[in-house]
Amino acid sequence: MSETRFTDQHEWVRIDGDEGTVGITKYATEQLGDVVYVELPSVGKSLAKGAEAAVVESVKAASEVYAPIGGAVTTVNEALNADPATVNASPEGDGWFFKMKIADASEATKLMTAAAYADYVKGL
């Protein structure tokens, strides 16, 4: 059974066993505006929790995407290279950025649940 957790930097990670799928939240895409370019990490890259993992550029700004938990990149969403607007259309679905083999699953317990993240966003 998968579980999704959120960071205060508006990344999400969907955890399924020892694999995590990472992307940015709907709130983040609303703040960015139309996404025009995504720079994805290299497969095999090892990321520490909080490390810069990717870059997303929109008509408004460029922003870093940080690893919500540590691990090694196993897959990137190549479809975003051809159609970066997928991030806006489906930020927590088809607009995912990369998948990773999770190094320490306990790091996820320090991230927000969906309910906690919703409360966090209300306060912004």
Q: Read off the pLDDT of residues 8-43 as tens digits, 9 standing for 90 and up.
A: 999 999 999 999 999 999 999 999 999 999 999 999
Q: Which residues pair with 99 in a beta bridge?
A: 21, 75
What is the tens place of the pLDDT at every residue in 49-102?
999 999 999 999 999 999 999 999 999 999 999 999 999 999 999 999 999 999
Q: Which domain holds residue 44?
A: 3-105
Number of domains in the chain: 1
Q: Are 86 and 80 in contact (CB under 8 A)?
A: yes
- We report the CATH number of the domain holding residue 29 as 2.40.50.100
Residue 9 lies in a domain: yes
Tell me the whole-structure pTM to 2 decimals.
Answer: 0.97
pLDDT for 1 equals: 75
Backbone angles phi, psi at 83, to 5 degrees: -140, 75
Mean pLDDT of the chain: 97
pLDDT for 68 equals: 98
pLDDT for 9 equals: 97
Residue 94 lies in a domain: yes
pLDDT for 44 equals: 98
